[in-house]
């Protein structure tokens, strides 16, 4: 439901690509006739249609390695090894019967965790960041998602952003996301490729403390994840996607701390925009009874607003003295390698 939107930056598409490219969790079973006396018995063997997990609860785990961690354009780390493991469980609470044309088609509950472990102890030179550990961030989230028969979906999620090494104070946020499943709207040829744009919009309301500046803010994200799957008849179909994202401030989200003299550049409505390219492939050689494994790689380019350029160029994030407080890097590159599992 929501984990795909919750996960950070470019590795969000890896979740979508890797798990979407993975075939159904199943053994290869076919019926074979066995004659016992005069009686013909159909003996069952594994078949692609027979999923192991037929229950209402599903699980997903991911491991991502990246060269940089930007939270909504805000630099957290871009040196050393950055490992970002996550996991979530989803309970399909209710699903409409086949053929039912009711407005709501399914309701689900999701809970999960997202983490960032970094060899470079990010922000260790800040007053709060004196912790000796490398476990920089550990987030918990839980939410409810609703899908409709016309492809619209909505989610409500609570998130607690926490730092085990005290690099920042804990922040609490309530998110609302709206999405649209547009698969099948582009004609037979595109449908054969599994093409979809998957547009969405997300609103984040900080309710306790803030990830940026002094004031709690309201964040808005607009995005889409156009993707196609090629080699669909192969054991290793390849899903290629190009995630597009824009992060905006609706109220004080990208407003920095006051300067020493009390001045402030004010809120910056434009936080960042990003475009990426990702590839996901299932690991079909692993027995399906063990779950659906997939790997992915992606690259992403961020274009930053003026406030984030100045902030990301600061001494805390560059490890030295700021040479020009009015300027910073406009663009940043991020690369991610991912290993995912679902059951």
Alpha-carbon gap, residue 149 to 253, rounded angstroms: 34
> Nearest to residue 9, comparing CAs of 313, 329, 271?
271
- Reported confidence tier of residue 341, pLDDT bands at 50, 70, 90: very high
> Nearest to residue 129, comparing CAs of 82, 78, 164, 165?
165
- Rg of the chain over Cα atoms, rounded to whole angstroms, equals 23
Instruction: Give the tokens for residue 170.
Output: 């804990």
- Reported confidence tier of residue 133, pLDDT bands at 50, 70, 90: confident
Torsion of CA 321, 326, 299, 177, to 10 degrees: 120
- Reported confidence tier of residue 232, pLDDT bands at 50, 70, 90: confident
Q: What integer is the mean pLDDT of 198-209?
A: 97
Stated length of the chain: 343
- Residue 128 pLDDT: 47
Per-position DSSP letters for 83-96, written without gaps between them: EEEEEEEEEEEEEP
Q: What integer is the mean pLDDT of 245-254?
A: 97
Domains of the chain from N-terminus onward: 3-342 (2.40.128)
- Reported confidence tier of residue 263, pLDDT bands at 50, 70, 90: confident
Per-position DSSP letters for 275-290, written without gaps between them: EEEEEEEE-TTS-GGG
Higher local confidence (pLDDT), 264 or 52: 264
Lowest-pLDDT range of 3-12, 65-74, 261-270: 3-12
Contact 109, 74 (CB under 8 A): no
- Residue 46 pLDDT: 52
- Residue 11 pLDDT: 46
Instruction: Give the tokens for residue 50.
Output: 């027979």
Alpha-carbon gap, residue 122 to 225, rounded angstroms: 30
């Amino acid at each position: 439901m929501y984990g795909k939107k919750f996960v950070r930056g470019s590795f969000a598409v890896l979740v979508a690509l890797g798990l979407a490219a993975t075939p159904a969790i199943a053994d290869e079973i076919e019926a074979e006739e066995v004659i016992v006396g005069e009686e013909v018995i159909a003996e069952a063997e594994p078949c692609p249609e027979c999923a192991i997990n037929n229950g209402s609860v599903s699980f997903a785990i991911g491991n991502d390695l990246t060269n940089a961690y930007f939270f909504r354009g805000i630099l957290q780390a871009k040196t050393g090894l950055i490992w970002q493991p996550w996991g979530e469980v989803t309970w399909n609470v209710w699903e409409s019967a086949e053929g039912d044309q009711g407005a709501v088609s399914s309701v689900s509950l999701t809970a999960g965790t997202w983490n960032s472990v970094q060899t470079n102890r990010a922000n260790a030179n800040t007053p709060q960041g004196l912790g000796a550990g490398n476990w920089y961030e550990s987030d918990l989230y839980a939410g409810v998602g609703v899908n409709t028969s016309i492809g619209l979906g909505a989610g409500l999620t609570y998130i607690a952003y926490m730092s085990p090494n005290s690099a920042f104070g804990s922040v609490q946020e309530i998110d609302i996301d709206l999405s649209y499943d547009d698969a099948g709207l582009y004609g037979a040829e595109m449908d054969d490729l599994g093409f979809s744009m998957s547009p969405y919009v997300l609103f984040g309301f900080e309710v306790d403390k803030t990830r940026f500046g002094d004031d709690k803010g309201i964040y808005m994200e607009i995005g889409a994840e156009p993707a196609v799957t090629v080699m669909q008849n192969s054991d290793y179909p390849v899903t290629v996607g190009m995630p597009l994202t824009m992060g905006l401030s609706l109220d004080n989200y990208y407003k920095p701390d006051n300067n020493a003299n009390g001045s402030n550049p004010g809120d910056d409505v434009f936080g960042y925009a990003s475009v990426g390219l990702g590839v996901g492939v299932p690991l079909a050689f692993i027995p399906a009874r063990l779950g659906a494994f997939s790997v992915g790689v992606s690259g992403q380019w961020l274009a930053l607003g003026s406030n984030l350029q100045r902030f990301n160029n600061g001494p805390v994030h560059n490890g030295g003295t700021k040479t020009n407080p009015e300027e910073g890097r406009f663009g940043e590159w991020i690369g991610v390698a991912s290993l995912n599992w679902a059951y």
